[in-house]
A and B are shown apart, each in its own frame.
Chain A
Amino acid sequence: MLSIRADLVDAMVAHARADHPDEACGVIAGPEGSDRPDRFIPMVNAARSPTFYEFDSADLLRLYREMEALDEEPIVVYHSHTATEAYPSRTDISYASEPGAHYVLVSTRECGPDEGPVEIRSFRIIDGVVTEEPIEIVA
């Protein structure tokens, strides 16, 4: 189960809408070992693509150095799908490399950049195996 504050969910959705029709991506870091997402870090999609995302390599190094300095880890790794459902694609599964993270997918296929229905789902992706998990919104 992913337990996450409502403001962090809203932030992911807002980012996904803002970058639509390109995929948006980012991380929510939290204290190491806590399983508690806390610090919202929107990243630039270096691929600037509606069908692919990738963190810029220099940004990636900065992000991991910063998290290490703060004793944090990536609790949530999120990205959007802008034309398909909020379910990990084959490429999502093959590149997933944080076995401890919750992979959150936001689909803007219905709402686009505007208000409207958004699909948001959370998954574990470990050794190519996808397991969906419930999302619990906490205060």
Chain B
Amino acid sequence: MSVEVRIPTILRPYTGGEKIVTGEGTDLRAVIVDLEARYPGIGDRLVDEQGLRRFVNVYLNDEDVRFTGGLDTAVADGDSVTILPAVAGG
């Protein structure tokens, strides 16, 4: 399965400045493993031992994946994954 992945400004140093890259996999976990293989270091910015990092939002098409199974969310050919860091603070 090949999906489009939209990369936020802060992670573009990993992708050579690219805003949109391609990822392969049947679920989000596999897509992130694939991204890490292509763009070393990016995976650690997205996941930790607990799963998706608390202040990184990942959307499959229009849905926040926190509500669709997190890293186990299945992806299909042509889907679009959007990564957005949370805008948050104290």
- A interface vs B, CB < 8 Å? 25, 27, 43, 47, 51-55, 57-58, 60-61, 64, 73, 77, 79, 88-92, 95-100
Contact = CB atoms under 8 A, between A and B. Distances in A.
A19 B54 CA distance: 25
B8 interface: yes
Given A57-B64, A61-B57, A89 B90 contact: yes
B11 to A, nearest CB: 9
A54 B87 contact: yes
Interface string B55-89: 10101001010100000000000000010111111
B67 to A, nearest CB: 9
- Prevailing SS type, chain A contact patch: mixed
Contacts of A54: 86-88
A91 B90 contact: yes
B88 A53 contact: yes
A47 B59 CA distance: 20
Nearest to A27: B87
Given A57-B66, A61-B62, A97 B89 contact: no
Interface string B1-16: 0000000111000000
Interface residues of B, number: 17
Q: Which of A25, A51, A95 has the most CB of B within 10 A?
A: A95
3 smallest beta-carbon distances between A and B, as pairs: A97-B85, A91-B90, A92-B89
A98 B88 CA distance: 11
Contact of A90 (B55, B59, B90): B90
Nearest to A77: B87
Interface in B20-64: 55, 57, 59, 62, 64
A84 to B, nearest CB: 9
Contacts of A61: 57, 59, 62, 64, 82, 84
B8 A97 contact: yes
